[in-house]
């Protein structure tokens, strides 16, 4: 086998391995981390329409409605992803988020954690089970 054929074979093999490593959709863990960051920053700052873009289409309207009501009563101070548990096939992730907020009427600071379920789709990572406070 010539050197050129060997290099070509290695490139094809490496490309195949990288493609297989990405799963069937082509969006990996780094894509999830980026999506989580953008989604939670948009949510933290009340940019609900932007945050809803990461939510499954069937839940977007309800997500915006419920969070708009919640943010009228409480101000989010911080959202932090504290854990991510990936499914063995890499197509699902349970994301644990710590939230700190202030009740607008009492000025009481509250903190707690909640869990979200994210699914890898052909369009990217989507929030399939968002937390809808007050519902």
Classify domain 26-129 by CATH number: 3.10.450.50
Q: How much is the pLDDT for 133?
A: 54
Q: What number of residues does the chain have? A: 135
pLDDT bin (cut points 50, 70, 90) of residue 24 is low
What average pLDDT does this structure show over 127-133?
Answer: 76
Q: For 37-71, what is each residue's pLDDT tens digit? A: 999 999 999 999 999 999 999 999 999 999 999 99
Residue matched to tokens 């490139």: 11
Long-range Cβ contact pairs of 87-96 (< 8 A, separation 24 or more): 89/23, 90/23, 90/28, 90/29, 90/120, 91/23, 91/24, 91/25, 91/119, 91/120, 92/117, 92/118, 92/119, 92/120, 93/32, 93/117, 93/118, 93/120, 93/125, 94/118, 95/36
Q: How much is the pLDDT for 53?
A: 97
Q: Does pTM top 0.85 for this prediction?
A: no
The domain locations on the chain are 26-129
């Amino acid at each position: 086998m010539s050197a050129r054929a060997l290099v070509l074979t290695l490139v094809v093999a490496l490309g195949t391995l990288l493609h297989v490593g990405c799963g069937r959709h082509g969006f990996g863990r780094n894509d999830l981390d980026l999506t989580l960051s953008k989604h939670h920053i948009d949510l933290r700052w009340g940019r609900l329409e932007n945050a809803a873009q990461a939510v499954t289409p069937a839940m977007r309207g309800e997500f915006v409605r419920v969070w708009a009501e919640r943010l009228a009563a409480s101000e989010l101070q911080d959202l932090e992803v504290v854990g991510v548990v990936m499914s063995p096939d890499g197509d699902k992730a349970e994301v644990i988020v710590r939230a700190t907020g202030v009740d607008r009427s009492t000025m009481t600071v509250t903190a707690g954690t909640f869990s979200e379920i994210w699914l890898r789709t052909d369009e990217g990572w989507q929030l399939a089970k968002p937390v809808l406070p007050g519902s």
